[in-house]
Amino acid sequence: MTTSLGAKIKRHRQEKGYSLDKLAELTDSSKSYIWELENRDTRKPSGEKLTRIAQALEVTTDYLLDESEEPSDQVLKEAFFRKFSKLAPEDQQKINQMIDMWGKKD
């Protein structure tokens, strides 16, 4: 099943609990522009705007542009690493320790 760019933006915006106003603010856009992206398939954002939207929603631009329903493994990994890189160094270290512990299970 295919999913449009607008449907993905709307779904992820709602999952994050963002209003149209909040996503517009985070992406330096207007509320009406975000609404048009979500509801009119004829509206296509610029590369810069698409990047801002992807960053605000913590997904990749590739995922937003791909018409598949679910993100690929690569997209999920990129989203994880983006979130991981925003953590404080001590939190990153704790996560690395947990991964090491899980990896030792046999």
The tens digit of pLDDT for each residue in 19-32 reads 999 999 999 999 99
- Residue 99, domain CATH: 1.10.260.40
Q: Look at residue 1 and tell me whether its pLDDT is greater than 50.
A: no
Mean pLDDT for 41-60 is 90
Count of domains for the chain: 1
Confidence of residue 80 (pLDDT cuts 50, 70, 90): confident
Q: Average pLDDT, whole number, for the chain? A: 86
Give the Cα separation of 20 and 37 in Å (integer): 11
Q: Which amino acid is at 82?
A: R
pLDDT at residue 71 in the model: 63
Q: What is the pTM of this model?
A: 0.65
Tell me if residue 68 falls in helix, strand or coil.
strand
Confidence of residue 16 (pLDDT cuts 50, 70, 90): very high
pLDDT at residue 28 in the model: 96
Range of the domain at 84: 5-103
Give the Cα separation of 102 and 67 in Å (integer): 34
The answer to whether the beta carbons of residues 37 and 43 sit under 8 Å apart is yes
